[in-house]
Chains A and B, each alone.
Chain A
Amino acid sequence: MATQISPCSSSSTTFSPSSLNQEPFSSAKLVNFSRKSSPSRWVFKIHSRINPKNQFELKSSNGYPLNAVSLQDGAAEKPLAKEIVLPEQTESNLSVTVVGASGDLAKKKIFPALFALFYEDCLPRNFVIFGYARTKMTDEELRETISRTLTCRIDKRENCGDKMEEFLQRCFYHSGQYNSEENFAELDSKLKHKEDGKLSNRLFYLSIPPNIFVDSVRCASGKASSKTGWTRVIVEKPFGRDSESSAELTRSLKKYLAEDQIFRIDHYLGKELVENLSVLRFSNLVFEPLWSRNYIRNVQFIFSEDFGTEGRGGYFDNYGIIRDIMQNHLLQILALFAMETPVSLDAEDIRNEKVKVLKSMRRLKLEDVVIGQYKGGKSYLGYTEDPTVPNDSLTPTFAAAALFIDNARWDGVPFLMKAGKALNTRRAEIRVQFRHVPGNLYKKNFGMDMDKATNELVLRVQPDEAIYLKINNKVPGLGMRLDRSDLNLLYSMRYPKEIPDAYERLLLDAIEGERRLFIRSDELDAAWSIFTPLLKELETKKIAPELYPYGSRGPVGAHYLAAKYNVRWGDVTGEE
């Protein structure tokens, strides 16, 4: 039974009439942003994307000039909606400016995600998209570049070509330096022209290297902020290299932006199964009682890629796998996994709980970390053979770590993380290994190691999203043989629909002001403080990584680290 709830919108019109009123800032200086800005926003979902009429009625009966309302205008694309005339002042316009439009991320992820949102009618009726970069390019050229990467959702291909055409007509380009106030002022006047006097909401997506973050934020905020609506800035990792540089970056950003204008993206938080983690925990009676040290033996967060840096190691070499994957993606998932029940599903409530977990965590120690680096083989280049990587680089391309949360719920439970490049598979998953059954009546049916026969809950984030629970079961037949079977839910079997890309969700959330999946400054500080001492120690002591062959399962050191805490990695057993 599917329960009602919203489609693309994650905020609601009828129930949160206050949300826009709270965002009428005129410059970069932000007005009070009550964290209750939209009470239980994604809880009250009334609209169905499938039923835009409905959506519209709700909106018109509301009449507030809200940003949320403006989002609903997506529905106005439908013929029926057009007939209903709204009061002039409710018309608003969204402009999304992709700063660094010629970059890879922009081409591969951001524009396609924006198109998907448009295709699904999730964008407001009035919107424009601007590409901004240093390259000289015409609007046409930008459209040409973008159109190569646009695809239509598998499940409804109708009108895809038309839609694409419509979308591209809304895309424009402005070339400029990232640190030029003047260029941003030019952008501002172009935006104004497009906005045509409507209430203007502006979203900047900074898809540029970290060293020019602050400059472009300064220019964008100083010269191209919205005067009438909101201005929000999405920034991507890296958010510094350690506690100090991250704090420095935050300080600089805050000179020009208020906390709630900053949307730090961690695209893992937009993954379907990461979103589902809280649903599983909090909307099923059967899981929450088990969610503690009483029943959980250990938790594993596993990320692996089956390719190396492949000639693009320049950025990576400066950061390494711990900063690139662990300190952000895996740690964020860990925090969601381990947090206490939040007061509500509001962004601030959830982020408060995440910060609490992060603050309860022990600083990571050198002896609880294993680092590795892949070496070449016959057909594959080793990491240091990458021309963009120094020959003597000690940067880890693999790391395993054991973390601990010193609170009442998790005391003593090892949280293991493992992340690596150039491994044998590509996957991201969470594995929860339960304790063995005390006084198990069927002990004799197991072998020596009781722990091998424990229940395990696996959330596979990618590829092939799935949830499964390993249970002990009797093998059918005469006699009594036990076996581990899976109670499982394979998404592709149950849900034929294509799962949206994480960027779609996150862009939509940023447009709607839903901050749940973005990282708050204090979260970021807490996350860095867990990893910074270790990262410094690794670098000052010049710890050499354990080398592992390209395409292997990674350094065996990871097993010894796990063994130290009586854990066995769940992903490298004979079964699976």
Chain B
Amino acid sequence: MATFSPSTHCPSSSPYSNDSSVINRFHQRIALSSIRPKQCRPRKLSLQQSSLPKAVHLQDGASTKKASPVKSDGPVKILKDGILSVPPVTPPEESIDIAKFDFDKENSTVSITVVGASGDLAKKKIFPALFALYYEGCLPKHFTIFGYARSKMSDAELRTMVSKTLTCRIDQRENCGEKMDQFLERCFYHPGQYDSQENFLELDKKLKEHEDGRVANRLFYLSIPPNIFIDAVKCASTSASAATGWTRVIVEKPFGRDSESSAALTRSLKQYLDEDQIFRIDHYLGKELVENLSVLRFSNLIFEPLWSRQYIRNVQFIFAEDFGTEGRGGYFDNYGIIRDIMQNHLLQILALFAMETPVSLDAEDIRNEKVKVLRSMRPLQLDDVVIGQYKSHTRGGVKYPAYIDDKTVPNDSLTPTFAAAALFIDNARWDGVPFLMKAGKALHDRRAEIRVQFRHVPGNLYNKNIGTDLDLATNELVIRVQPDEAIYLKINNKVPGLGMRLDRSNLNLLYAARYAKEIPDAYERLLLDAIEGERRLFIRSDELDAAWSLFTPVLKELEEKKIVPEYYPYGSRGPVGSHYLAARYKVRWGDVGSEQ
């Protein structure tokens, strides 16, 4: 549609980076004067993206927080000085792009070091995501990727390992093989201990070689167990930080087990890193429909007026996996489903859902609002939680194992593999509205969705057509995050024909039907954001604290009182206790109705 900026390039995640022509011109001007060239365009790329000056502070973690355009990065200055004096008349875009392009091409590079390169996540998600970004032309011209792990491996071996998991996007398969080879050429490996300054120094030296005197920006992706986080951060930061550009570190959950351990982790990280160098990833925030949640709310007139206790009866956040720990329960058993899914993924989505309108789409503005919501929430009470654990179940001659049958799990484990919880936000907008969460493993299907159940129509003229339970016929907005991304709104509708029968139909948008393009993996988006310094989708320390303080008391209580989980058969719909919990707050789970 003409109205919306069509971007032909791989666009950035920055909310400011769209290419509508007007904005673009404006944007070009800014980019020019501040030397923040546009991000992620094929061939014309740069690392320090930021289109508007206000975002600038945040952009350069490594260099300086107060980066005014003039000050920011040394090497960038030359051009900047020349151009800053240019009056605000937009020169032909072409020339700017070229100037920027030549400049960046020669002068900066980004090295991405995947620490823990032999791990599962690295193989399944990180390398493929990096390749996808490369394939789409979203990576800078000069980049190198280093795998770092303890195993001895040659570059070639790493490449073989990586290549096994690379795939090309369905919608543009051309040159895939070629591209893959080019990508693999940029991948290297360095073996080393995670706590060895020396090994990281060696890495630093190798990185320098590849950087070849250009502005060096370095991104470390820590894909390692939590107990070695700090050591690795210490070594990376002291021995392998970029001397000229920025250094950023992506860390994955778990961020501690409770308020105290999380705070301790944050404190330790901050010994070596500034807040804006830390990128705490929650890959759910990178999911397409979670990103779209704010778009839906804030760019459509029809939703915002409904977004409050006045119209919303309850909100449900549902996560289900149809498989168990399958022999890999060692890590999980130490955390449990509440820490693994609820306290982070579901709570983050809840915060995005419930936050007030932020001042802008800037990362800090959004995260400020999220923190406010989290801090308005009541800490979870034991009464408001139901936990479950799957037991073995034989179906169709196949025996599915119980959680405790997993060899990596202690036989007497009480760790919940299922949990349902009712949360409340004590603010003006949401007072009294139950926010229900449900997350579980080894359930009957795999899904993640947000369900918003609206109140019933007051004084509904059609009440008599609806039956005794008015709540069964209320509107419901469903945002299905996975699988088969979709948005639909259940409305009451007249069944066509003579007479007057009502029926709930869906006004729907199935992504697969509307958008032919494959939806990028969450990791692609998040990696790109980290490279570009866009922090919107990463979790700030105070957010993390607020999130933990909601769950820590109940987690402790569960453990101290050794609360026994309700057992549910593998492949079932989970413990029935969750229905009673919902019923207590007059809620009916939307995902297990006869209809969907």
Find out whether the CB atom of B497 lies under 8 angstroms from the CB atom of A447: no
Residues of A within 8 A of B5 (CB): 445, 447, 481
B261 at the A/B interface (Cβ < 8 Å)? no
B311 at the A/B interface (Cβ < 8 Å)? yes
Tell me the minimal C-beta distance from B477 to chain A in angstroms. Answer: 8
A107 at the A/B interface (Cβ < 8 Å)? no
Q: Which of A524-576 contact B (CB under 8 A)?
A: 574-575
Q: Which of A425-463 contact B (CB under 8 A)?
A: 434-437, 439-442, 444-449, 452-455
A332 to B358, CA, bound (A): 43
Residues of B within 8 A of A475 (CB): 515
Q: How many A-B residue pairs have CB under 8 A?
A: 291
Residues of B within 8 A of A575 (CB): 1
Find out whether the CB atom of A7 lies under 8 angstroms from the CB atom of B496: no
Q: Which of B12, B302, B491 is close to A471, meaning CB atoms less than 8 Å apart? A: B302
Find out whether the CB atom of B460 lies under 8 angstroms from the CB atom of A283: yes
Tell me the minimal C-beta distance from A437 to chain B in angstroms. Answer: 5
Residues of A within 8 A of B563 (CB): none
Find out whether the CB atom of A284 lies under 8 angstroms from the CB atom of B491: yes
With contacts A455-B301, A480-B18 taken as known, whether A442 is within 8 angstroms of B361 at the C-beta atoms is yes
CB-nearest residue of chain B relative to A272?
Answer: B496
A2 at the A/B interface (Cβ < 8 Å)? yes
Q: Which of A8, A455, A494, A505 is close to B300, meaning CB atoms less than 8 Å apart? A: A455
Find out whether the CB atom of B497 lies under 8 angstroms from the CB atom of A480: no
With contacts A441-B358, A444-B16 taken as known, whether A284 is within 8 angstroms of B496 at the C-beta atoms is no
B283-303 interface code vs A (CB 8 A; 1 in, 0 out): 000001001101110111110
Q: Which of A187-195, A372-380, A388-396, A496-504 contacts B (4 or more CB under 8 A)?
A: A496-504
Residues of A within 8 A of B304 (CB): 437
A316 at the A/B interface (Cβ < 8 Å)? no
With contacts A441-B298, A482-B299 taken as known, whether A286 is within 8 angstroms of B496 at the C-beta atoms is no
A42 to B455, CA, bound (A): 24
A448 to B517, CA, bound (A): 27
Residues of B within 8 A of A445 (CB): 4-5, 15, 18, 20, 23, 299
Residues of B within 8 A of A440 (CB): 298-299
Find out whether the CB atom of B462 lies under 8 angstroms from the CB atom of A283: yes
Tell me the minimal C-beta distance from B384 to chain A in angstroms. Answer: 26
Tell me the minimal C-beta distance from A63 to chain B in angstroms. Answer: 24
A341 to B4, CA, bound (A): 37
Interface size on A, residues (CB 8 A): 90
Say what secondary structure dominates the interface of chain A.
loop
Q: Which of A262-280 contact B (CB under 8 A)?
A: 272, 275-276, 278-280
Residues of B within 8 A of A1 (CB): 472-473, 503-504, 594-595
A454 to B302, CA, bound (A): 9
A469-505 interface code vs B (CB 8 A; 1 in, 0 out): 1011111111111111111110100110101100011
With contacts A447-B20, A472-B300, A482-B295 taken as known, whether A497 is within 8 angstroms of B497 at the C-beta atoms is yes
A120 to B498, CA, bound (A): 10
Find out whether the CB atom of A453 lies under 8 angstroms from the CB atom of B517: no
A159 at the A/B interface (Cβ < 8 Å)? no
Q: Which of A133-141, A221-229, A288-296 contacts B (4 or more CB under 8 A)?
A: A288-296
Q: Which of A439, A469, A484 is close to B1, meaning CB atoms less than 8 Å apart? A: A484
A465 to B291, CA, bound (A): 32
Residues of A within 8 A of B594 (CB): 1
Find out whether the CB atom of A485 lies under 8 angstroms from the CB atom of B497: no
A210 to B477, CA, bound (A): 51
Most chain-A Cβ atoms within 10 A of its Cβ — which of B11, B20, B295, B520?
B295
Tell me the minimal C-beta distance from B511 to chain A in angstroms. Answer: 6
A13 at the A/B interface (Cβ < 8 Å)? no
Q: Which of A186-217 contact B (CB under 8 A)?
A: none
B576 at the A/B interface (Cβ < 8 Å)? no
A58 at the A/B interface (Cβ < 8 Å)? no
CB-nearest residue of chain A relative to B527?
Answer: A478
Find out whether the CB atom of A44 lies under 8 angstroms from the CB atom of B464: yes
Find out whether the CB atom of A283 lies under 8 angstroms from the CB atom of B492: yes
Tell me the minimal C-beta distance from B413 to chain A in angstroms. Answer: 39
Find out whether the CB atom of B498 lies under 8 angstroms from the CB atom of A8: yes
B407 at the A/B interface (Cβ < 8 Å)? no
A213 to B500, CA, bound (A): 32
B466-477 interface code vs A (CB 8 A; 1 in, 0 out): 110000111101
Q: Which of B298, B299, B502, B517 is close to A279, meaning CB atoms less than 8 Å apart? A: B502
Find out whether the CB atom of B473 lies under 8 angstroms from the CB atom of A283: yes
Find out whether the CB atom of B499 lies under 8 angstroms from the CB atom of A7: yes
B14 at the A/B interface (Cβ < 8 Å)? yes
Residues of A within 8 A of B292 (CB): 473-474
Q: Which of B4, B40, B300, B461 is close to A483, meaning CB atoms less than 8 Å apart? A: B4
A521 to B1, CA, bound (A): 47
Most chain-B Cβ atoms within 10 A of its Cβ — which of A286, A436, A441, A497?
A286
Find out whether the CB atom of A285 lies under 8 angstroms from the CB atom of B311: yes
Find out whether the CB atom of B500 lies under 8 angstroms from the CB atom of A469: no
Q: Which of A91-126 contact B (CB under 8 A)?
A: 117, 120, 122
With contacts A441-B299, A487-B487 taken as known, whether A122 is within 8 angstroms of B465 at the C-beta atoms is no
A3 at the A/B interface (Cβ < 8 Å)? yes
A532 to B15, CA, bound (A): 54
Q: Which of B18, B519, B595 is close to A481, meaning CB atoms less than 8 Å apart? A: B18
Q: Which of B11, B305, B457 is close to A284, meaning CB atoms less than 8 Å apart? A: B457
The 8 closest A-B pairs by CB, nearest first: A479-B11, A487-B507, A283-B492, A43-B464, A472-B299, A5-B501, A283-B462, A442-B299
Taking beta carbons and an 8 Å cutoff, which residues of B are in contact with A?
1-7, 10-18, 20-23, 40, 133, 136, 138, 288, 291-292, 294-296, 298-302, 304-306, 311, 357-358, 360-361, 454-457, 459-462, 464-467, 472-475, 477, 485, 487-489, 491-509, 511, 514-515, 517, 519-520, 524-525, 528, 594-595
A-B contacts, 24 of them at CB < 8 A, read A1-B472, A3-B465, A3-B466, A5-B501, A6-B499, A10-B499, A45-B500, A117-B498, A283-B473, A285-B455, A286-B491, A288-B457, A341-B459, A441-B298, A448-B22, A449-B3, A465-B496, A474-B288, A478-B10, A479-B10, A482-B4, A484-B1, A487-B508, A500-B496
- Extra inter-chain contacts (20) besides given A7-B498, A280-B492, A283-B465, CB under 8 Å: A1-B473, A3-B502, A4-B501, A6-B499, A43-B462, A43-B465, A272-B494, A275-B494, A278-B461, A282-B462, A286-B302, A290-B301, A441-B294, A445-B23, A446-B20, A480-B11, A481-B4, A489-B493, A489-B505, A495-B496
